[in-house]
Chains A and B, each alone.
Chain A
Amino acid sequence: MSPFSARAAEKLGYTNIRVLSSGLPGWKKANGLVVLPVNGLKKMIHEDDSYVLIDLRSKEAATAGHIKGAVSIPEAELTAAKDKFPQDKSAPVILYNNAQASQESFGLIRGWGYKNASVLHGGAKNWDGNFFPGEPASDIVYVKKLKPGQITVEEFQQIASAKPADKVILDVRDSGSEGTIPGAVTIPLGQLADSLGDLPKDKEYIVHCNTGIMAGMALKTLQDNGYQARYLDAVVQVSSDGSFDVSEK
């Protein structure tokens, strides 16, 4: 996607264009700080997503008013609270202090293996949503929820090996991709809308790409056109011999 945008910017006459080709995954791998926009947290609250939200301010400040679902762990006590955090390292852990949570707090959580950790943009003083008065929870409860239309890694793998007749694995990666999962149908995302005529409607389509992003967009196209479909929101690597590896983001 970024090479496409870079090329488009070049056509507009921009002369100094660079591409970080390792993308956000590379940034995360190098333990770079990830910022959660205010609207992103609002969306998660609105959609009733599962998240781990940590209020790093004092107990008093958190009791005076905290963001929905926040657990109070004052910054100085964070190290000692390690065991309170969920087993599932893919849990989105979001930190906020009065200002934006520090690189140190973020680094600590990231160091415990929580790959989807982030800090709320600008912290509590930048939050223009609701604050709820009262004592916040002190224990973390996290139950992973699938997003609408998402398929689990386990079920995807099962379908890929059993190849049931009523399901089709649809690969929407760019056509330059090296190998394909055996039995999968390949239609690059950009051509999907024009290729719907090739897809019978009596199957369920299980969409995958490299990172779940293009698959999520393909899901929308399929559902808007009356198809039954789900998508894999995970990292997929396919070798040229068709063997593949799926891992949680």
Chain B
Amino acid sequence: MVSRNKTSLLLAVLAAATLSTAGVSEAGKPTVGGPCQKCHTAQPDAVRGNLGKVSPEFSTLQVKAGNIVWIVKYDDKTSVINGDKTSGADSLKDLPQNKEILVSFSGGEAKPLATEIAVKQPYKVSEEQKITNDEVVKLVSMGPETGEYTLIDARPTGAFLAGHIPTAISLPFDNFEESCSVVLPEDKNRLLVFYCGGPT
């Protein structure tokens, strides 16, 4: 009885592993947290997810990835890379709960020991990618045809419906993949201008 239960449990795990093809380890453990999968794929000997509890007593940290929690050991060789700052594992306590991290480990997934913990940096728009309000005023006064641009409102549909910049079309960021082929122009060299609900 016991062994049959074990077998069916193993089958269930294997089935789950085949169902979600992205971001799982060899043993079928998720290595990339749900929201992270939008941009990241699995890497060997690394898990990407949200920081859970850190226990200095046991020298472990938790990484939440999908529906499971990885427990990873750390030691005094583990480095924490936060932007251009590199420090030791004692700096983990300064990170906010649920912070997105990428933990590279040695020792295999049965006994993972963190070698490097990289902390996700906030989205930044490069200076050359920024467009000023005045430039958008000029484009809008020409209109999309003469100005040869597509202005995209990345806010949720409800916000767009409450008012938008003239000539803008709606492509909510959380619906990007589903709607981009309908909304975005065919010409990949056309000027795309994105905006949303706040200073970014």
B158 contacts which chain A residues (CB < 8 A)? 216
Interface residues on chain B, size class: 35 or more
User: Provided the pairs A20-B131, A32-B137, A216-B156 are in contact, do residues A194 and B188 lie with their beta carbons within 8 angstroms?
Assistant: no
Q: Which residue of A lies closest to B35 (CB)?
A: A190
Say yes or no: is B19 at the interface (Cβ < 8 Å to chain A).
no
B50 contacts which chain A residues (CB < 8 A)? 191, 194-195
A3 contacts which chain B residues (CB < 8 A)? 123-125, 194, 200
Say yes or no: is A53 at the interface (Cβ < 8 Å to chain B).
no
A26 touches which of B39, B121, B193, B199 (Cβ 8 Å): B199
A21 touches which of B64, B177, B191, B199 (Cβ 8 Å): B199
Chain A nearest Cβ from B57, distance in angstroms:
21
| B-contacting 9-mer, from A8-16, A75-83, A153-161, A224-232 | A8-16
User: How distant is the Cα of A64 from the Cα of B159 in the complex, in angstroms?
Assistant: 32
Say yes or no: is B130 at the interface (Cβ < 8 Å to chain A).
yes
Q: How many A-B residue pairs have CB under 8 A?
A: 199
User: How distant is the Cα of A176 from the Cα of B95 in the complex, in angstroms?
Assistant: 11
The digit string for B169-200, where 1 denotes a CB below 8 A from any CB of A, is: 00101101100100010001111111111111
A7 contacts which chain B residues (CB < 8 A)? 39, 123
CB atoms of B154 and A27 under 8 A apart: no
CB atoms of A194 and B35 under 8 A apart: yes
Q: Which residue of A lies closest to B176 (CB)?
A: A8
User: How distant is the Cα of A7 from the Cα of B171 in the complex, in angstroms?
Assistant: 14
Say yes or no: is A5 at the interface (Cβ < 8 Å to chain B).
yes
CB atoms of B123 and A217 under 8 A apart: no
Say yes or no: is A97 at the interface (Cβ < 8 Å to chain B).
no
Say yes or no: is B21 at the interface (Cβ < 8 Å to chain A).
no
Q: Which residue of B lies closest to A210 (CB)?
A: B198
Say yes or no: is A193 at the interface (Cβ < 8 Å to chain B).
yes
A193 contacts which chain B residues (CB < 8 A)? 34
A187 contacts which chain B residues (CB < 8 A)? 97-98
User: How distant is the Cα of A5 from the Cα of B195 in the complex, in angstroms?
Assistant: 9
Q: Which residue of A lies closest to B123 (CB)?
A: A3
Q: Which residue of B lies closest to A41 (CB)?
A: B161
Say yes or no: is B129 at the interface (Cβ < 8 Å to chain A).
yes
Say yes or no: is B162 at the interface (Cβ < 8 Å to chain A).
yes
The digit string for B45-71, where 1 denotes a CB below 8 A from any CB of A, is: 000001000000000000010110000
- Most chain B CB within 10 A, of A23, A43, A92, A217, is at A23
Say yes or no: is A37 at the interface (Cβ < 8 Å to chain B).
yes
User: How distant is the Cα of A23 from the Cα of B96 in the complex, in angstroms?
Assistant: 27
User: Provided the pairs A1-B155, A5-B171 are in contact, do residues A194 and B33 lie with their beta carbons within 8 angstroms?
Assistant: yes
Q: Which residue of A lies closest to B164 (CB)?
A: A35
Say yes or no: is A17 at the interface (Cβ < 8 Å to chain B).
yes
CB atoms of A25 and B191 under 8 A apart: no
| Between-chain CB contacts (< 8 Å), 12 pairs | A2-B154, A3-B194, A5-B171, A14-B192, A15-B188, A18-B194, A187-B97, A188-B98, A191-B100, A193-B34, A194-B34, A217-B156
Q: List the 8 closest pairs (A to B, CB-CB), nearest first.
A: A176-B122, A40-B161, A18-B131, A2-B196, A190-B35, A1-B196, A20-B195, A3-B123
Chain B residues at the A interface, C-beta cutoff of 8 Å: 33-35, 39, 50, 64, 66-67, 96-100, 120-125, 129-134, 136-137, 140, 152-156, 158-166, 168, 171, 173-174, 176-177, 180, 184, 188-200
Supplied contacts A40-B161, A191-B33, A191-B50, 20 more A-B pairs, CB within 8 Å? A1-B196, A3-B200, A7-B39, A16-B189, A20-B130, A20-B193, A23-B199, A26-B199, A27-B195, A30-B137, A34-B164, A35-B163, A36-B162, A40-B163, A92-B162, A176-B121, A191-B35, A210-B198, A210-B199, A211-B197
